[in-house]
Amino acid sequence: MYKIAVIPGDGTGPEVVNEGLKVLVAASKKFNFQYETKSFDFSGQRYLKTGKLVDDQDVLELKKYSAIYLGAVGDPEVKPGIIETGVLLKLRFALDQYINLRPVKLYNSKFCPLKDKRPEDIDFVVVRENSEGLYKGMGEFKDKATKDEVAIQISYNTRKGVQRCIRYAFEYTRKRNKRKKLTLCGKTNVLTFAWDLWQRTFNEVALEYPDVTTDYAHVDAATMWFVKNPEWFDVIVTDNMFGDIITDLGAMIQGGMGIAAGGNINPQGVSMFEPIGGSAPKYTGKNVINPLAAICAVGMMLESLGEAQAAKAIEGAVIGLVSNKLKSLSAGKMGYSTTEVGDLVVKNL
Ligand code: IPM
Ligand code: MN
């Protein structure tokens, strides 16, 4: 019996989570697994009413679950950063979800903004470090609000943190067993402390994986290759900030935010799965947002729980829908409503 904590969150989060849960019901019947869900209201609206975000008690409670399923965070009525750090980043850090796993996979050429790229050309995975780097929140102001003001934001990289991320990426590349190529994406030519540590650690860990081909790309060049030659990539490992940036570009080449899912992984603990697109306030409550990213996140969650067959079947159902029915993957242009798309995935399944 899996225990799933559900955090619908803000904006369109609750709408897409509903569709994901429909698919979860259908998958559990078809593949014979049991689960229970409990919903947690960590949202901008709750914060406005109560001042509460995620506290240590909440974290203790969530540690009892098999997985967390998250819709989206970010409410335009709340100052930017509060919900993001108080809910999403708080959970990632407190649950030590040190990997952010973001597959970039094109399901059908017609949704790719790049000319002449086929599904076999765009099929890679970004392993983003998810617990350190610029996200650590270290830094300071000097002489704040004066003409001599200085703002310092530190990229914090520990050998242990970098090592566990890189090791995960090598293991993942080996298990994925496609091209068996791992690309380190960094900035060794300028960020000579952080990326020196990353490069040395990468070279060291690589010795344990002679079956994996290694490569390196500066992050700026990587954005160019994403557009020009995405077929060069199999698995990419990078730090928290670069991973954040390149995976939005990755989402676009796979067809947009409507289809991009990710997992915040603690391989020894509780992981959290989410569509990566955010709360899309302007589409909230209109039944037009694309729920496929949230549905794919359910697939990733089931995969991590050991329900590989169910995960594969959900992906198949999504591919079928994307190929045969949807006019677009963007909100309001799919040719179907949010709830209809969820129903169609269930039907395909
Ligand atoms: C993401 C988001 C978050 C991040 C924000 C909402 C804090 O952009 O999951 O990529 O920067 O990690
Ligand atoms: Mn992001």
Q: What pLDDT shows up at residue 264?
A: 98
Distance CA 195, CA 166 (A): 13
Q: Count the Cβ atoms, other than its own, within 10 Å of residue 199.
A: 16
Q: Tokens in use for 81?
A: 């950063």
Q: What pLDDT shows up at residue 257?
A: 94
E strand or H helix at 234, and its extent?
none
Q: What pLDDT shows up at residue 334?
A: 97
User: Over the stretch 16-30, which tens digit does the pLDDT of each residue have?
Assistant: 999 999 999 999 999
Cα 218 to Cα 170, 185, 224, 228, 229, distances in angstroms: 19, 6, 10, 15, 15
Q: What pLDDT shows up at residue 273?
A: 98
Distance CA 105, CA 250 (A): 9
3-state secondary structure 135-168: HHCCEEEECCCCCCCEEEECCECCHHHHHHHHHH
**Among candidate residues 196, 187, 189, 299, the one with its CA nearest the CA of residue 245:** 187
User: Over the stretch 90-142, which tens digit does the pLDDT of each residue have?
Assistant: 999 999 999 999 999 999 999 999 999 999 999 999 999 999 999 999 999 99
Confidence of residue 165 (pLDDT cuts 50, 70, 90): very high
Atom index in ligand 1 nearest the CA of residue 85 equals 7
∠ CA 246-268-201, nearest 5°, is 50
Please provide the average confidence, as pLDDT, over all residues in the chain. 97
Confidence of residue 74 (pLDDT cuts 50, 70, 90): very high
Q: What pLDDT shows up at residue 23?
A: 98
CA 347 / ligand 2 centre spacing (Å) = 31
Distance CA 81, CA 73 (A): 10
Q: What pLDDT shows up at residue 13?
A: 98
Same fold across 1-98+260-349 and 123-253: yes
Give me the residue label for tokens 């690309």.
183
Atom index in ligand 1 nearest the CA of residue 274 equals 9
Q: Is the CB of 88 under 6 A from ligand 1?
A: yes
Cα 182 to Cα 154, 197, 246, 308, 345, distances in angstroms: 27, 17, 16, 23, 33
Q: Which long-range CB contacts under 8 A does 339-343 form with residues at least 24 apart? A: 339/18, 339/19, 339/287, 341/19, 341/290, 341/291, 341/292, 342/18, 342/19, 342/20, 342/22, 342/23, 342/291, 342/295, 343/22
CA atoms within 13 A on the CB side of 293: 33
User: Over the stretch 280-306, which tens digit does the pLDDT of each residue have?
Assistant: 999 999 999 999 999 999 999 999 999
Helices (H), the chain: 13-31, 44-50, 56-62, 82-83, 90-94, 159-176, 194-206, 219-228, 240-253, 292-305, 308-324, 338-348
Distance CA 334, CA 324 (A): 12
Distance CA 186, CA 217 (A): 7
CA 274 / ligand 2 centre spacing (Å) = 12
Q: Terminal CA-to-CA distance of the chain, rounded, Å?
A: 22
Confidence of residue 230 (pLDDT cuts 50, 70, 90): very high
**Residue spans per domain, the chain:** 1-98+260-349, 123-253
Give me the residue label for tokens 């060794």.
188
Q: Residues in the chain, how many?
A: 349
Q: Does domain 1-98+260-349 have CATH number 3.40.718.10?
A: yes
Q: Is the CB of 244 under 6 A from ligand 1?
A: yes
Q: Is the CB of 72 under 6 A from ligand 1?
A: no
User: Over the stretch 247-268, which tens digit does the pLDDT of each residue have?
Assistant: 999 999 999 999 999 999 999 9
Q: Are 263 and 208 in contact (CB under 8 A)?
A: no
Q: Does domain 123-253 have CATH number 1.10.20.10?
A: no
Q: Is the CB of 274 under 6 A from ligand 1?
A: no
User: Over the stretch 180-201, which tens digit does the pLDDT of each residue have?
Assistant: 999 999 999 999 999 999 999 9
CA dihedral 209, 300, 296, 44 (to 10 degrees): -110
Confidence of residue 243 (pLDDT cuts 50, 70, 90): very high
Distance CA 71, CA 293 (A): 10
Task: Calculate mean pLDDT across residues 192-212.
Answer: 98
Distance CA 68, CA 334 (A): 28
Atom index in ligand 1 nearest the CA of residue 244 equals 10
Q: Tokens in use for 347?
A: 């039907």
